[in-house]
A and B are shown apart, each in its own frame.
Chain A
Amino acid sequence: MSGEAWLYLFAVLINAVNLFLQVFFTIMYSDLEWYVLAQLGTKASELHSAPSSSDYINPIDLCNRLNTYIIPEAAVHGFLTLLFLVNGYWVALVLNLPLLGWNIKKILDNTHLLDATEIFRKLNVHKKESFFKLGFHLIMFFFYLYSMIVALIKDEKA
Chain B
Amino acid sequence: MAAPNDGQGQYPPPQYPQEAPYGGYEGQASSPPPPQAGHADGGKKKKRGYATQAFEFGSGANSAATVGAPPPGGMPPMPGTPGFAGVQQPSPGYGGYPAQGYEQGGYGAPVPAPYDAQQPGAPAQPPVGGYQSPSYYAGAVAGGMGPLTQNMAGLNMGGPQQPAVPQQQQHQPPAQQPPRLALNQLYPTDLLNQPFNVSELDLPPPDCILPPNASVTQSPNANCPPKYIRSTLNAVPTTHSLLKKSKLPFALVIQPYAALHDIDDSVPVVQDQVIARCRRCRTYINPYVTFLDQGHRWRCNMCNLTNDVPQAFDWDAATQKSVNRWDRYELNHSVVEFVAPQEYMVRPPQPLVYLFLFDVSYASVSTGLLATSARTILDSLSRIPNADRRTRLGFIALDSSLHYFSIPKDDDENGETSMLVVSDLEEPFLPMPHDLLVPLTESRQSIENFLTKLPEMFQNNQNNGSCLGSALRAGHQLISPLGGKIVALSASLPNMGTGKLEMREDKKLLGTSKESGLLQTANSFYKSFAVECSKNQVSIDMFLFSSQYQDVASLSNLPRYTGGQTWFYPGFNAGRAEDAIKFASEFSDYLSSEIGLEAVLRVRASTGLRMSTFYGNFFNRSSDLCAFPAFPRDQCYVVEVAIDESLQKQFICLQAGVLYTTCNGERRIRVMTLSLPTTTNVADIYASADQCAITTYFSHKAVERALGSGLDAARDALQSKIIELLQTFKKELGGGSMGGGGLQFPANLRGLPVLFLGLIKNIGLRRSAQIPSDLRSAALCLLSTLPLPLLIQYIYPRLYSLHDMPDNAGVPDPETSQIVLPPPLNLSSERFVSYGLYLIDDGQSQFIWVGRDAVPQLLADVFGVQDRSQLRVGKGTIPELDNDFNERVRAVIQKSRDHLSRGVGSVTVPHLYIVREDGEPSLKLWAQTLLVEDRADQAMSLAQWMGSLREKVVQ
Which A residues are closer than 8 A to B by beta carbons? 35-36, 39-40, 42, 45-53, 55-56, 58-60, 115-117, 119-121, 123
CA distance A140 to B942 in the complex (A): 57
Decide: A49 near B530, CB < 8 A? Known: A39-B625, A117-B561.
no
Interface assignment of B73: CB less than 8 Å from any CB of chain A: no
Interface assignment of B135: CB less than 8 Å from any CB of chain A: no
CB of A42 within 8 A of CB of B279, answer yes
CB-CB < 8 A to B613: which residues of A?
121
CA distance A55 to B537 in the complex (A): 13
Given contacts A36-B623, A42-B279, A50-B345, 16 further A-B contacts (CB under 8 A): A39-B625, A40-B624, A47-B622, A49-B340, A49-B343, A49-B344, A51-B598, A51-B600, A51-B659, A53-B346, A55-B621, A56-B621, A60-B531, A116-B528, A120-B620, A120-B622
CA distance A120 to B535 in the complex (A): 16
Chain B CB within 10 Å, residue with most, of A36, A39, A48: A48
Chain A CB within 10 Å, residue with most, of B344, B561, B621, B624: B621
CB-CB < 8 A to B598: which residues of A?
51
CA distance A123 to B620 in the complex (A): 13
CB-CB < 8 A to B530: which residues of A?
117
CB of B527 within 8 A of CB of A48, answer no
Interface assignment of B486: CB less than 8 Å from any CB of chain A: no
The 9 closest A-B pairs by CB, nearest first: A45-B282, A36-B623, A120-B623, A49-B344, A120-B620, A116-B531, A39-B622, A52-B346, A48-B602
CB of A50 within 8 A of CB of B344, answer yes
CB-CB < 8 A to B531: which residues of A?
60, 116-117
CB-CB < 8 A to B627: which residues of A?
51
Partner of A117, one of B340, B527, B622, B623: B527
CB of B346 within 8 A of CB of A56, answer no
Nearest B residue (CB) for A39: B622
Interface assignment of B281: CB less than 8 Å from any CB of chain A: yes
CB of B624 within 8 A of CB of A51, answer no
CB of B602 within 8 A of CB of A50, answer no
CA distance A46 to B600 in the complex (A): 12
CB of B535 within 8 A of CB of A60, answer yes
CA distance A137 to B551 in the complex (A): 42
CB-CB < 8 A to B623: which residues of A?
36, 39, 120, 123
Decide: A48 near B620, CB < 8 A? Known: A115-B527, A117-B561, A121-B613.
no
CA distance A35 to B659 in the complex (A): 21
Decide: A48 near B625, CB < 8 A? Known: A53-B535, A115-B527, A116-B531.
yes
Interface assignment of B832: CB less than 8 Å from any CB of chain A: no
Q: Can you list, as one digit per residue, whether each of B373-393 has a CB less than 8 Å from chain A (1) or not (0)?
A: 000000000000000000000
Nearest CB on B from A48, distance (A): 5
CB-CB < 8 A to B279: which residues of A?
42
Decide: A46 near B622, CB < 8 A? Known: A52-B346, A56-B535, A60-B531.
no
CA distance A134 to B620 in the complex (A): 28
CA distance A80 to B531 in the complex (A): 36
Q: Interface SS of chain B: helix, strand, loop or mixed? A: mixed
> Which residues 607-635 of B have a CB within 8 angstroms of A?
613, 619-625, 627
Chain A CB within 10 Å, residue with most, of B280, B346, B527: B346
Interface assignment of B843: CB less than 8 Å from any CB of chain A: no
CB of B600 within 8 A of CB of A48, answer yes
Interface assignment of B657: CB less than 8 Å from any CB of chain A: yes
CB of B624 within 8 A of CB of A36, answer yes
Nearest CB on A from B106, distance (A): 41
CB-CB < 8 A to B600: which residues of A?
47-48, 51
CA distance A40 to B346 in the complex (A): 20
Can you list 13 A-B contacts (CB < 8 A)?
Answer: A39-B622, A40-B624, A48-B657, A49-B659, A51-B621, A51-B659, A53-B346, A55-B622, A60-B531, A116-B528, A117-B530, A117-B531, A117-B620
Nearest CB on B from A154, distance (A): 50
Partner of A50, one of B280, B343, B622: B343
Nearest A residue (CB) for B704: A121
CA distance A40 to B611 in the complex (A): 11
Decide: A45 near B281, CB < 8 A? Known: A51-B600, A56-B535, A117-B527.
yes
CA distance A51 to B623 in the complex (A): 14
Q: Can you list, as one digit per residue, whether each of B530-548 has a CB less than 8 Å from chain A (1) or not (0)?
A: 1100010000000000000
Nearest CB on A from B83, distance (A): 39
Nearest CB on B from A39, distance (A): 5
CB-CB < 8 A to A119: which residues of B?
620
CB of A48 within 8 A of CB of B282, answer yes
CB-CB < 8 A to A59: which residues of B?
620-622
Partner of A47, one of B528, B620, B625: B625
CA distance A48 to B340 in the complex (A): 12
CA distance A52 to B347 in the complex (A): 9
CB-CB < 8 A to A51: which residues of B?
346, 598, 600, 621, 627, 659
CA distance A56 to B600 in the complex (A): 13
CB-CB < 8 A to B622: which residues of A?
35-36, 39, 47, 55, 58-59, 120
Nearest B residue (CB) for A113: B524
CB of B282 within 8 A of CB of A46, answer yes
CA distance A58 to B528 in the complex (A): 15
CA distance A53 to B481 in the complex (A): 13
CB-CB < 8 A to B281: which residues of A?
45
> Which residues 623-675 of B have a CB within 8 angstroms of A?
623-625, 627, 657, 659
CB-CB < 8 A to B340: which residues of A?
49
Nearest A residue (CB) for B278: A45
CB-CB < 8 A to B282: which residues of A?
45-46, 48
CB-CB < 8 A to A53: which residues of B?
346, 535
CA distance A57 to B832 in the complex (A): 60
CA distance A117 to B627 in the complex (A): 11
